[in-house]
């Protein structure tokens, strides 16, 4: 096993002897700052009371433990004794892990984007003691450069304004807060989207951004943003738009060939800094890889090409091997840095490879991965950058049989050698939201590819969530578990993503206990977050303290919003259980964001998938019989082998719709009923009949 930097490690550059309140926190990100000279506080009463009592501005600094530029700013600024003393004298400094508190991050990131036109992490926002923001930025350098002030200069300017123009600061903070609140308002009286117009307009808009040379959408830096290509595959299915399917398949192929993909160990990095998917920021996030599994599964179904299934298996085996707690929970992320250098774990010099490999292996590796003496990655770390670094990316695939064998043996040698390196830091907190995404990925992979290990991993993960994060008495799902303890935060994202993941697992194996849990999650989500009057779902529960405003998330970025995930999951669950209130909640959520769907579809590609699902009656494949039996497995394989986004798969046990419970099978083997609306075709034991039914097109509403 490779050496692992544990999540509890603290910043190696922190001066000795310092300790602050973050030592009591579970968050790996907060603990990284626990020995800074800055007197950091966690988000909460103690910090806010101090700011009010001492009449000091608040520095709110938000990041996450695998963030490269967060590490840089810590090394340069937050470990500096003099700067720490200045902050302690003039500010109340608060550190927030944006992955543990996405609700806090959402509010102040929106403020940053509203006032400076961009955002990112680290996010540094200055607040009044009543939490109203008045200035925001991201990374600040330790010395002035390119017209930008140093972080110390910025702090001094903030304090000068606080002391000499306090009334102006308060007035500005109040006005900016009102503007911020206005951004969270939505028109609840929208008509339900017409559908064809929004879907077609969105598809054309996305295709307009397509890069036909390198794949992907837009320019560098390139982020996968899986919900966009996932929607485009549905768009292609609905409108017979072959170009959209080609664009997605090309994008999938180019991403998997690039350096953003770990060519040895599997798994995708967060994003590529260039347009060719070559040079990543090397952190690997659970939520990215979960969504990309779903994308590559769809690419496999649409194209029939096994190479996409290979990527799925490699990602999931990476997660199982390197990102899974011994009891089944999935960890959050791996860092970009190792031993203080970005990408050191992943890169190779030509000389390293020459020493490790046999001559034939070295020749094929050099050609296949495009290895050079100069390298393709520039290490910018100080004071001793590493020369000649090569990121592995697929350059030449024209290999004969002997070369394929040599490449396979070379890969194994490289993996063994890499395993002896110091691995990047692991963020080992377990988030119910991201676990829901990866649960669904493992479940669908089992349903489509049939690998038993994926089913076992999915069921162990769900057991972990139910044991450690689900309160069965209170019907409450906690967000974070780490090191034996869970938090008390209730967030829509956790409920919505868990619901979607559990639904995927239910449809993959038809265990009625999983469907019952999905029902409990849906009921709890509706009770805690649904706005029955105006529609949509609040990001936080009503009793969440210390928030400047309560928002309904409406942006499908790196992660789809809780509203988008909830809408689609409820529409599917309503079709399985025939629960009218869930269908209405899903449709009312779509209606609430109707203008956004029409005017800025780029903002809500996952919600577009919910709209696409809502526009027609889903096909239902009802499998009757022993849900554990081999004949049921065969019919489930047939049901999941066709790309048909407008379907649900259910059994006749548990809280399914009343009609499904009346259907009877036979003692010999399970039967499949293929239904649309109130009509069902004669039952069948033939998987081909099921597949052909799902391939047929049906008219929209």
pLDDT digits (tens, 9 = 90+) for 628-652: 999 999 999 999 999 999 999 999 9
How many domains does the chain fold into?
Answer: 3
Tally the C-alpha atoms within 13 A of residue 185's C-alpha that lie toward its C-beta: 7
- pLDDT(700) > 80: no
Give residue 196's pLDDT: 84
pLDDT of 2 > 60? The answer is no
Q: What distance in Å separates the CA atoms of residue 588 and residue 608, rounded to the nearest whole number? A: 14
Residue 320 falls inside a structural domain: no
As a whole-number percent, the residues of the chain with pLDDT over 90 amount to: 89
**pLDDT value, residue 16:** 55
pLDDT of 388 strictly over 90: yes
The 3-class SS string of 102-121 reads HHHHHHHHHHHHHHHCCCCC
Which residues, 6+ apart, have CB-to-CB distance to 548 below 8 Å? 107, 131, 132, 133, 177, 180
Considering only CA atoms, give the Rg of the chain. 26
Is this prediction's pTM over 0.85? Answer: yes
Tokens of 138: 């991201």
Provide the CATH number for the domain around residue 152.
3.40.30.10
Tokens for 577, please give them. Answer: 């259980």
Please indicate, yes or no, if residue 244 is contained in any of the structural domains: no
Tell me, yes or no, whether 599 lies in a domain: no
Last residue of a domain, one of 144, 168, 183: 183
Report pLDDT digits (tens) over 263-294: 999 999 999 999 999 999 899 999 999 999 99
In this prediction, residue 186 carries a pLDDT of 83
Residue at 411 is within a domain: yes
For residue 674, the cross-strand partners are 621
Please name which of 29, 102, 42 lies closest in space to residue 433, comparing C-alpha atoms: 102
| Mean pLDDT, residues 62-77 taken together | 94
Confidence label for 380 from pLDDT (cuts 50, 70 and 90): confident
Q: Is the pLDDT of residue 5 over 50?
A: no
From the number of C-beta atoms within 10 Å of its C-beta (0-12, 13-18, 19+), residue 665 rates as buried
Which domain-ending residue is among 183, 205, 239? 183
Asked whether residue 32 is domain-assigned, the answer is yes
Q: What whole-number distance in Å separates Cα of residue 356 and Cα of residue 352? A: 6
Host H or E run for residue 93: strand 92-97
Answer yes or no: is 325 within a domain: no
Three-class SS of 6-19: CCCCCCCCCCCCCC
Cα three-residue angle 189-190-193, rounded to 5 degrees: 155
On whether the CB atoms of residues 578 and 658 are closer than 8 A, the answer is: yes
- What are residue 8's phi and psi, to 5 degrees? -85, 0
In whole angstroms, what is the distance from residue 482 CA to residue 29 CA? 12
Tell which residue, 260, 253, 296, 291, has the closest CA to residue 277: 260
pLDDT higher than threshold 60 for residue 465: yes
pLDDT of residue 15: 52
Encoding tokens for residue 329?
Answer: 């929970």
How far apart CA 445 and CA 443 sit, in angstroms, is: 5
- How far apart CA 224 and CA 577 sit, in angstroms, is 34
Give pLDDT, residue 145. Answer: 87
Torsion, CA 251, CA 253, CA 254, CA 257, rounded to 10: 150
What is the tens place of the pLDDT at every residue in 163-174? Answer: 999 999 999 999
Cis peptide before 236 (omega within 30 of 0): no
Q: Residue 701's pLDDT is what?
A: 40
For 296-347, how does the pLDDT look when each residue is reduced to its tens digit (9 = 90+)? 999 999 999 999 999 999 999 999 999 999 999 999 999 988 898 999 999 9
Q: Crossing angle of helices 605-614/562-577, nearest 10°?
A: 20
Per-residue pLDDT band for 522 (boundaries 50, 70, 90) equals very high
Q: Would you say residue 67 lies in a domain?
A: yes
Range of lowest pLDDT (64-73, 255-264, 520-529) = 64-73
Least confident of 11-25, 203-217, 472-486: 11-25
Per DSSP, 390 falls in state B
Average pLDDT for the chain: 94
What sections of 593-629 are H helices per DSSP? Answer: 594-599, 605-614
Last residue of a domain, one of 392, 420, 448: 420
Q: What mean pLDDT do residues 527-538 have?
A: 96
Res 521: pLDDT:
98
**Is it the case that residue 3 has pLDDT exceeding 70?**
no
- How high is the pLDDT of residue 188? 76
Q: Tokens 């002897």 correspond to what residue?
A: 17
Q: Report, as an integer, the average pLDDT of 60-82.
A: 95
Domain carrying residue 674? 619-695
The per-residue b/e assignment along 491-525, b for 16 or more CB within 10 angstroms, e otherwise, is: bbbbbbbbbbbbbbbbbbbbbbebbebbbbbbebb
Provide the pLDDT for residue 699.
Answer: 44
| pLDDT for 73 | 96
pLDDT band at residue 21 under the 50/70/90 scheme: very high
| Cα atoms in the 13 Å half-sphere on the side-chain side of 11 | 32
575-619 pLDDT, tens digit each? 999 999 999 999 999 999 999 999 999 999 999 999 999 999 999
Going by C-beta distance under 8 Å and a sequence separation of 6 or more, which residues neighbour residue 394?
256, 257, 258, 263, 368, 369
The phi and psi torsions of 421 (rounded to 5 degrees) equal -80, 165
Q: Which residues are registered as beta bridge partners of 42?
A: 95
Closest to 110 in 3D by CA, of 57, 156, 62: 62
Residue 100 lies inside a defined structural domain of this protein: yes
Does 698 score more than 70 pLDDT?
no
pLDDT in tens, 440-450: 999 999 999 99
- Give me the pLDDT at residue 10, please: 41
pLDDT for position 8: 40
């Amino acid at each position: 096993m490779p050496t692992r930097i544990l999540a509890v490690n603290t910043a190696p550059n922190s001066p000795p002897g310092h300790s602050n309140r973050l030592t009591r926190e579970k968050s790996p990100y907060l603990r990284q700052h626990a020995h800074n000279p800055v007197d950091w506080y966690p988000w909460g009463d103690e910090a806010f009371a101090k700011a009010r009592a001492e009449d000091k501005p608040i520095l709110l600094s938000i990041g996450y433990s695998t963030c490269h530029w967060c590490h840089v700013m810590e090394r340069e600024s937050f470990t500096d004794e003099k700067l720490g003393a200045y902050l302690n004298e003039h500010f109340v400094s608060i550190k927030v892990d944006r992955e543990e508190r996405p609700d806090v991050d959402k509010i102040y990131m929106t403020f940053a984007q509203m006032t400076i036109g961009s955002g990112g992490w680290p996010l540094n926002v200055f607040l009044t003691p009543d939490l109203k923001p008045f200035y925001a930025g991201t990374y600040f350098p330790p010395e002035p450069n390119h017209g930008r002030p140093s972080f110390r200069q910025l702090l001094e300017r903030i304090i000068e304004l606080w002391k000499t123009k306090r009334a102006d600061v308060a007035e500005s903070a109040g006005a900016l807060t009102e503007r911020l609140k206005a951004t969270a308002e939505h028109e609840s009286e929208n008509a339900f989207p017409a559908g064809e117009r929004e879907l077609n307009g969105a598809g054309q808009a996305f295709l307009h951004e397509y890069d036909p040379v390198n794949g992907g959408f837009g320019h560098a830096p390139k982020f996968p943003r899986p919900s966009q290509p996932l929607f485009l595959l549905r768009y292609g299915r609905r409108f017979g738009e072959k170009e959209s399917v080609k664009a997605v398949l090309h994008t999938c192929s180019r991403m998997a060939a690039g350096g953003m993909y770990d060519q040895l160990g599997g798994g995708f990095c967060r994003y590529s800094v260039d347009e060719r998917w070559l040079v990543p920021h090397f952190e690997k996030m659970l939520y990215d890889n979960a969504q990309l599994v779903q994308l590559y599964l769809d690419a496999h179904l649409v194209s029939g090409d096994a190479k996409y299934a290979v990527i799925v298996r490699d990602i999931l085996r990476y997660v199982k091997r390197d990102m899974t707690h011994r009891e089944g929970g999935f960890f959050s992320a791996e860092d970009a840095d190792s031993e203080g250098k970005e990408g050191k774990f992943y890169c190779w010099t030509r000389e390293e490879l020459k020493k490790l490999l046999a001559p034939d292996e070295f020749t094929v590796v050099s050609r296949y991965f495009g290895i050079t003496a100069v390298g393709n990655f520039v290490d910018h770390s100080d004071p001793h950058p590493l020369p000649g670094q090569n990121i592995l990316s697929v350059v030449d695939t024209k290999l004969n049989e002997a070369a394929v064998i040599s490449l396979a043996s070379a890969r194994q040698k490289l993996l063994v050698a890499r395993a002896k390196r110091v691995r990047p830091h692991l963020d080992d907190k377990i988030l119910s939201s991201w676990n829901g995404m990866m649960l669904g990925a493992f479940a669908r992979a089992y349903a489509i590819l049939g690998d038993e290990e994926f089913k076992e991993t999915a069921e162990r993960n769900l057991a972990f969530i139910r044991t450690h994060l689900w309160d069965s008495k209170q019907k409450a799902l906690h967000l974070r578990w780490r090191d034996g303890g869970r938090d008390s935060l209730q967030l829509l994202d956790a409920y919505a993503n868990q619901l979607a993941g559990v639904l995927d697992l239910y449809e993959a194996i038809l265990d009625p206990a999983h469907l019952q849990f999905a029902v409990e999650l849906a009921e709890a989500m509706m009770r805690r977050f649904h706005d029955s009057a105006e529609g949509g779902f609040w990001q936080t529960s009503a009793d969440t303290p210390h928030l400047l405003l309560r928002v309904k998330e409406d942006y499908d970025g790196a992660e789809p919003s809780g509203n988008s995930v909830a809408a689609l999951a409820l529409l599917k669950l309503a079709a399985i259980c025939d629960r009218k209130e869930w269908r209405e909640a899903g449709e009312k959520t779509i209606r609430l964001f109707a203008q956004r769907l029409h005017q800025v579809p780029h903002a809500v590609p996952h919600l577009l998938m919910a709209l696409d699902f809502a526009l027609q009656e889903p096909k239902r494949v009802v499998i009757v019989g022993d849900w554990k039996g081999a004949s049921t497995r065969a019919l489930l394989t047939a049901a999941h082998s066709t790309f048909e986004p407008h379907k649900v798969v259910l059994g006749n046990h548990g809280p399914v719709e009343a009609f499904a419970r009346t259907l009877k099978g036979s003692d010999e083997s399970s039967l499949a009923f293929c239904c649309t609306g109130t009509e069902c075709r004669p039952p069948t034991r033939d998987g081909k009949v099921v597949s052909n039914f799902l391939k047929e097109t049906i008219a929209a509403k």
